[in-house]
């Protein structure tokens, strides 16, 4: 194999230096653009409301860590809680008493009171949370993964 000429060698060296310099600039810039992980931990259990706050056939959006959750007091007196983030395009859903369903105003997506996507564009059901009543306080927590 013929040895590279002086010019070829210098061109190669220049290309390596060029790429290394570009990398030395781009790597810190791209790393800077990626935000550091937020300090807010994913909550596993929160006090979502008190029983006085939500009468039957109404709902309330509450803060579940850094994400919104929705608590629904059904007509039959049950409390149910889900993630309030629509599985379609990330809007925050609400309870519609006239429909008896959870509704997303952005693209008219609907979920039943088990969180199942029943109409409109949402592709997946809402994540369901566990609800425990302690006195007047309604505690919502993530459902334990079933083993």
For residue 88, state whether it binds another protein (rule: CB under 8 A). Answer: yes
For residue 63, state whether it binds another protein (rule: CB under 8 A). Answer: yes
Q: Which residue has the tokens 């409301």?
A: 49
For residue 93, state whether it binds another protein (rule: CB under 8 A). Answer: yes
Among 90, 98, 144, 147, binds another protein (CB under 8 A): 90
For residue 67, state whether it binds another protein (rule: CB under 8 A). Answer: yes
Q: How far apart (Å, rounded) are the C-alpha atoms in residues 36 and 121?
A: 33
For residue 65, state whether it binds another protein (rule: CB under 8 A). Answer: no
User: 61-67: which pairs have CB atoms within 8 A and are 24 or more residues apart?
Assistant: 61/92, 61/94, 62/140, 64/129, 64/140, 65/40, 65/41, 66/38, 66/40, 66/42, 67/42
Burial label, 98 (beta-carbon count in 10 A; 0-12, 13-18, 19+)? exposed
From the CB of 4, what's the least distance to another protein, in Å? 38
Residues between 27 and 46 that touch another protein (CB under 8 A): 33-35, 38
Stretch that binds another protein, among 1-9, 14-22, 48-56, 60-68 (CB under 8 A): 60-68
Say how many residues make up the chain. 147
**Residues that bind another protein in the complex, under the rule CB under 8 A:** 33-35, 38, 61-63, 66-68, 70, 84, 88-94, 104-108, 117, 120-123
């Amino acid at each position: 194999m013929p040895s590279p000429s002086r010019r070829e060698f210098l061109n190669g060296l220049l290309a390596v230096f060029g790429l290394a310099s570009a990398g030395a600039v781009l790597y810190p810039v791209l790393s800077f653009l990626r935000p550091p992980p937020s300090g807010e931990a994913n909550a596993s259990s929160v006090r979502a409301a008190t029983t006085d706050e939500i009468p039957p056939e109404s709902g309330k959006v509450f803060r579940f860590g850094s994400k919104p959750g929705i608590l629904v007091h059904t007509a039959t007196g049950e409390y149910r809680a889900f993630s309030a983030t629509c599985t379609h395009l990330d809007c925050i859903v609400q309870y519609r008493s006239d429909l008896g369903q959870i509704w997303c105003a952005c693209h008219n997506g609907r979920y039943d009171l088990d969180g199942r996507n029943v109409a409109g564009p949402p592709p997946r059901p809402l994540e369901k949370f566990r609800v425990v009543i302690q006195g007047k306080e309604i505690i919502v927590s993530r459902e334990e993964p079933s083993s």
